[in-house]
Amino acid sequence: MADESLEIKNKESILGNETNEDGSPVQEVRKDGEVVAEIRNKESIFGTEKNEDGSPVKEVVKKG
């Protein structure tokens, strides 16, 4: 099985870094320079979902 190289970068737009509601950066997962997924804080109607230690729960949203 060949190794796959993935890269995680902050998502940028013409207005600068795209951010979650708490101000942390939304991140993109790239394979061979192409965006294959985004990593965001998981949001609900009650706000950002939290882990027991208070850190935000992250969700990976696959593209395409």
**pLDDT above 90: residue 64:** no
For 8-60, the pLDDT digits (tens) are 999 998 889 999 999 999 999 999 999 999 999 999 999 999 999 999 999 99
Dist CA 57 CA 64 (whole Å): 23
- 33 lies in a domain? yes
Q: How many domains does the chain have?
A: 1
- 47 lies in a domain? yes
Dist CA 13 CA 48 (whole Å): 22
For 40-49, the pLDDT digits (tens) are 999 999 999 9
Domain of 23 in residue numbering reads as 6-62
- 1 lies in a domain? no
Dist CA 46 CA 48 (whole Å): 7
Dist CA 26 CA 28 (whole Å): 7
Dist CA 4 CA 40 (whole Å): 22
